[in-house]
């Protein structure tokens, strides 16, 4: 598969560039909704779950209902090969739980071609309406999610309580059912050892922070997801305003940390780190996801700081998704062992970077 | 300074290729000689040491005395900048002790342009006649050293005892005064963890083994020097024959180890190691001598095993000398701090490898 073919299998948030893309990789709005006439999915039979899927499919496929839902199509997950479901997880358009269908035919996702909108059906709630956009675009994502929500609400009856708001399976989602989040790339704060302090401050103002692609103290690829914790009793716009304001603060802190790194005694070490990352990525024959994410993070930093030229930043974002196990196998054309994946991953990275091969040979 | 200019400052053993060059970097013959009419240098006044230098210079500069000594010229070390003396050490044409003149005017080295012959004057002995050739060329080196020795002996009277043979300052050199040695590159034996066993066996048959460029258990660049220990009571030709035979055994063992590495499960790891070495060497902005020697060793292995193409093996041998601190400063044009040297070294390596830039981008 050539690079263009691969690229077409990526979501809009990976392929496009949004505002503040030097720090903010993506913005996500998610609304949890349930239909009044069914039990929550955890207590709903498989047959009845299929009814939910069919009902939603009927609504969105009705021509002319609204431009908000145009182009949406329903994908039943049980019908997809494991690797395809895994790729959806790697693109963050479905959750890992949703991908594990266990022969369950009632799990589905409703998508547009660019995958900016994805509605998981019968995950923890009947509907998880998600909009995922590149860069810092929370308002745009909110508008899109809100419009889809409004359109659906004209056709189905949501479970709603006048006091509690939208009813959800898990109490943490009660109320607005809104989770807003940003994925940020913070290599500067990590390298200057400020990241724990900064992230701790975020959790003290009610935000949740977690590393992306893997648990543990060393976040892979210096990527973090910041989201609101509380939904009950808060107005949606307040939640989003707060997150945007915090994210802008983070952007400033990250940019200052990068300047500090470049202008301090360690500036040449930073440059060395970045060029070595490129040298290894463009030459290794075996590479793990973990190592590759770390090196891609260094290289992305170098591109964003204009220390290294000739690499499109978006290419690196794309690689962060493409080097995940599902994509690596999809591109290689079949199931691979872990060792085979490490080789295929190295091949893929070299191939993807090859267009920029003159880089760093100054 | 361009690559050609740099290359011209290197000795023949570095620039030329000899037999078995996939394993044997160089062959060395050294004869220790003293003049009968002077005390050993350690007990000789500086004035008298200068007399020794003058006497030797007079002999070798006499036109037509013998073709063996043609082209030899005397270089008084005290007159040279520190960096130039250091470079001579890095090329192995003088010893570190000889380079430290401490304002002593009696230290000299007699050289030909290609530096295959170098005679240290007033090191531990009055004369240390050394011939250093690329690859496994001990007989050729022996012939050259022997001819120079014979020529000198027609003009000066050596300290000689009918029972003990040539008299030397240190008893370990008594007799023939001969030390024969080879510098071998044994990455295969190191990577297969066989090197300790193999080298221990050598010491049991009376050979001395030491790491090159630095002491310690981890030999830098997987380079080892193997030499005879005993000189007294042994015929020169026997010493050389023994060393050649042992070296040929080492070559076989090293080649088998390389085959083993390539054909075992770890073959792709070896390839990865080699390409990563190239990736780092061709992109790093800061690099220590130690790291560079290790990476050059991996790359040399890859070139010798034809895993990686487009790099001349000799270029790597040249780099092993050029990245030493003296050369790095010489090429950069002045005294550098340790940090500055690490940057200049990285620049030098990138520049030197740049001609082969298409390598590994397959």
Question: Among the listed ranges A168-172, A331-335, B112-116, B348-352, which one has the minimum average pLDDT value?
Answer: A168-172
Smallest CA–CA distance from A344 into chain B, residue: B268
- pLDDT tens for each residue of B157-190: 999 999 888 999 888 888 889 999 999 999 999 9
Last residue within a domain, chosen from B204, B238, B257: B257
- pLDDT tens for each residue of B98-108: 999 888 889 99
- Binary contact (B268, A343; C-beta < 8 A): yes
| CATH for A211 | 3.30.590.10
Nearby residues of B305 by Cβ (< 8 Å), 6 or more positions away = B258, B262
Nearest to A283 among B269, B343, B360 (CB): B360
Beta partners for residue B134, in sequence order: B26
What gap in Å lies between CA B44 and CA B39, rounded to an integer? 6
**Residue A359 lies inside a defined structural domain of this protein:** no
**Shared-domain flag, residues A95 and A40:** yes
- pLDDT tens for each residue of B203-220: 888 899 987 654 454 578
**Shared-domain flag, residues A252 and A271:** no
**Shared-domain flag, residues B250 and B327:** no
**Shared-domain flag, residues A287 and A215:** no
- Taking the CA of residue B46 and the nearest CA in chain A, the distance in Å comes to 47
Q: Tell me the angle at which helices B338-353 and B267-281 cross, rounded to the nearest 10 degrees.
A: 110
Task: Give the pLDDT band (50/70/90) at residue B362.
Answer: very low
Provide the Cα torsion B128, B129, B131, B132; round to 10°.
Answer: 10
Nearest to A286 among B272, B280, B360 (CB): B272
Beta partners for residue A227, in sequence order: A181, A208
- Taking the CA of residue B343 and the nearest CA in chain A, the distance in Å comes to 9
**Residue A360 lies inside a defined structural domain of this protein:** no
- Taking the CA of residue A182 and the nearest CA in chain B, the distance in Å comes to 33
Whether the Cβ atoms of residue A108 and residue A77 lie closer than 8 Å to each other: yes
B278 chain-A contacts, CB cut-off 8 A: 283
What gap in Å lies between CA A170 and CA A348, rounded to an integer? 40
**Shared-domain flag, residues B248 and B297:** no
> Considering only CB atoms, which residues of chain A are within 8 Å of chain B?
268-269, 271-272, 275-276, 278-286, 343, 346, 350, 354, 357, 360-361
Nearest to B283 among A269, A276, A343 (CB): A276
Per the structure block, which two tokens stand in for B260?
């083993």
The confidence score (pLDDT) of residue A184 equals: 96
Last residue within a domain, chosen from A227, A257, A287: A257
Domain span at A172: 3-257
The confidence score (pLDDT) of residue A23 equals: 97
Whether the Cβ atoms of residue A214 and residue A220 lie closer than 8 Å to each other: yes
The CB density around residue A39, as the number of other CB atoms within 10 Å, is 14
**Residue A262 lies inside a defined structural domain of this protein:** no
A343 chain-B contacts, CB cut-off 8 A: 268
Beta partners for residue A358, in sequence order: none
For residues B312 and B65, which has the higher predicted lDDT (pLDDT)?
Answer: B312
**Shared-domain flag, residues B140 and B9:** yes
What gap in Å lies between CA A283 and CA A350, rounded to an integer? 7
Per the structure block, which two tokens stand in for A281?
């990525």
The confidence score (pLDDT) of residue B358 equals: 43
Calculate the alpha carbon distances from B11 to B81, B94, B114 in Å. Answer: 19, 12, 5
**Shared-domain flag, residues A217 and A251:** yes
Whether the Cβ atoms of residue B93 and residue B130 lie closer than 8 Å to each other: yes
Calculate the alpha carbon distances from A260 to A189, A192, A193, A246 in Å. Answer: 10, 8, 12, 21
Last residue within a domain, chosen from B257, B289, B315: B257
Judged on CB neighbours under 10 Å (0-12, 13-18, 19+), B218 is: exposed
**Shared-domain flag, residues B157 and B288:** no
- Binary contact (B272, A284; C-beta < 8 A): yes
- Binary contact (A284, B269; C-beta < 8 A): no
**Residue B359 lies inside a defined structural domain of this protein:** no
**Shared-domain flag, residues A46 and A141:** yes
Quote the number of domains for chain A. 2
The confidence score (pLDDT) of residue B218 equals: 58
B268 chain-A contacts, CB cut-off 8 A: 285-286, 343
**Residue A311 lies inside a defined structural domain of this protein:** yes
- Binary contact (B279, A275; C-beta < 8 A): no
The confidence score (pLDDT) of residue B360 equals: 41
Among A266, A273, A275, the residue to mutate for chain B (most B Cβ within 10 A): A275
ipTM of the complex: 0.86
Whether the Cβ atoms of residue B295 and residue B277 lie closer than 8 Å to each other: yes
**Shared-domain flag, residues A251 and A274:** no
- Binary contact (B286, A268; C-beta < 8 A): yes
What gap in Å lies between CA A212 and CA B201, rounded to an integer? 53
Nearest to B279 among A271, A272, A279 (CB): A279
The confidence score (pLDDT) of residue B143 equals: 96
Q: Is it the case that residue B122 has pLDDT exceeding 50?
A: yes
What is the spatial order of strands in the sheet that B117-121 belongs to? Answer: B73-76, B108-111, B117-121, B127-134, B24-33, B178-185, B223-228, B207-211
In three-state secondary structure terms, B320 is helix
Task: Find the mean pLDDT for residues B144-161.
Answer: 94
Beta partners for residue B178, in sequence order: B31
What gap in Å lies between CA B81 and CA B64, rounded to an integer? 32
pTM above 0.95, yes or no: no
The CB density around residue B223, as the number of other CB atoms within 10 Å, is 23
B361 chain-A contacts, CB cut-off 8 A: 282, 350, 354, 357
Three-state SS string across chain A, please?
A: CCHHHHHHCCCHHHHCCCCCCCCEEEEEEEEEECECCCCCHHHCCHHHHHHHHHHHHHHHHCCCCCHHHCCCEEEEHHHCCHHHHHHHHHCCCCCHHHHCCCCCCCCEEEECCCCCEEEEECCCCCEEEEEEEECCCHHHHHHHHHHHHHHHHCCCCECEECCCEECCCCHHHCECCEEEEEEEECHHHHHCCCHHHHHHHHHHCCEEEEECCCCCCCCHHHEEEEEECCCCCCCHHHHHHHHHHHHHHHHHHHHHHHHHHHHCCCHHHHHHHHHHHHHHHCCCCCCCHHHHHHHHHHHHHHHHCCCCCCCCHHHHHHHHHHCCHHHHHHHHCCCCCHHHHHHHHHHHHHHHHHHHCCCCCC
The CB density around residue B296, as the number of other CB atoms within 10 Å, is 27
B346 chain-A contacts, CB cut-off 8 A: 272
**Shared-domain flag, residues B12 and B66:** yes
Q: Tell me the angle at which helices B338-353 and B289-304 cross, rounded to the nearest 10 degrees.
A: 20
- Inter-chain Cβ pairs, chain A and chain B, closer than 8 A: 58
**Shared-domain flag, residues B97 and B147:** yes
Q: What is the mean pLDDT of chain B?
A: 90
Whether the Cβ atoms of residue B72 and residue B117 lie closer than 8 Å to each other: yes
Calculate the alpha carbon distances from B14 to B26, B133, B138 in Å. Answer: 8, 8, 16
Query: Digits of tens for pLDDT over chain A (362 positions)?
Result: 555 567 778 999 998 999 999 999 999 999 999 999 999 999 999 999 999 999 999 999 887 777 878 889 999 999 899 999 999 999 999 999 999 988 888 999 999 889 999 999 999 999 999 999 999 999 999 999 999 999 999 999 999 999 888 999 888 888 889 999 999 999 999 999 999 899 889 988 889 998 765 445 457 899 999 998 876 667 889 999 999 999 999 999 999 999 999 888 778 999 999 999 999 999 999 999 999 999 999 999 999 999 998 888 888 999 999 999 999 999 999 899 999 999 999 999 999 998 654 444 33
Whether the Cβ atoms of residue A180 and residue A142 lie closer than 8 Å to each other: yes
The CB density around residue A70, as the number of other CB atoms within 10 Å, is 12
B317 backbone dihedrals φ, ψ, rounded to 5°: -60, -40
**Residue A334 lies inside a defined structural domain of this protein:** yes
- Binary contact (B284, A285; C-beta < 8 A): no
Task: Find the mean pLDDT for residues B13-38.
Answer: 95
**Residue B339 lies inside a defined structural domain of this protein:** yes
Task: Give the pLDDT band (50/70/90) at residue B8.
Answer: confident
**Residue A130 lies inside a defined structural domain of this protein:** yes
Per-position b or e across A123-135, b if 16+ CB within 10 A of its CB: bbbbbbbbbbbbb
């Amino acid at each position: 598969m050539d690079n263009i073919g691969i690229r077409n299998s990526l979501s809009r948030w990976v392929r496009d560039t949004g505002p503040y893309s030097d720090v903010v990789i993506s913005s996500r709005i998610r609304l949890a909704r349930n239909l009044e006439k069914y039990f929550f999915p955890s207590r709903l039979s498989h047959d009845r779950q299929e009814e939910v899927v069919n009902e939603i499919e009927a609504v969105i496929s009705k021509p002319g209902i609204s431009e908000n839902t145009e182009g949406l199509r329903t994908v039943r997950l049980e019908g997809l090969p494991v690797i395809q479901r895994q790729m959806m997880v790697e693109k963050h358009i479905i959750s890992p739980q949703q991908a594990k269908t266990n022969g369950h035919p009632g799990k589905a996702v409703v998508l547009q071609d660019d995958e900016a909108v994805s509605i998981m059906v019968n995950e923890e709630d009947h509907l998880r309406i998600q909009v995922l956009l590149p860069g810092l675009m929370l308002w745009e994502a909110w508008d899109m999610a809100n419009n889809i929500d409004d359109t659906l609400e004209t056709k189905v009856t949501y479970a709603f309580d006048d006091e509690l708001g939208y009813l959800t399976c898990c109490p943490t989602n009660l109320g607005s059912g809104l989770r807003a989040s940003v994925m940020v790339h913070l290599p500067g704060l990590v390298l200057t050892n400020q990241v724990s302090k900064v992230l701790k401050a975020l959790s003290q103002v009610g935000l949740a922070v977690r590393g992306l692609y893997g648990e543990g103290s060393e976040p892979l690829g210096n990527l973090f997801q910041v989201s609101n914790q509380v939904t009950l009793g808060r107005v949606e716009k307040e939640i989003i305003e707060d997150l945007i304001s915090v994210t802008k603060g983070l952007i400033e802190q990250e940019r200052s940390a990068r300047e500090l790194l470049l202008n301090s005694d360690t500036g040449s070490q930073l440059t060395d780190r970045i060029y070595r990352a490129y040298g290894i990525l463009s030459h290794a024959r075996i590479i793990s996801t973990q190592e590759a994410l770390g090196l891609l993070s260094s290289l992305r930093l170098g591109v964003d700081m204009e220390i290294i030229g000739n690499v499109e930043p978006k290419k690196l974002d794309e690689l962060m998704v493409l080097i995940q196990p599902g994509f690596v196998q999809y591109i290689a054309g079949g199931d691979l062992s872990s060792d085979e994946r490490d080789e295929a991953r190295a091949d893929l990275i070299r191939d993807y970077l090859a267009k920029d091969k003159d880089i760093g040979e100054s």
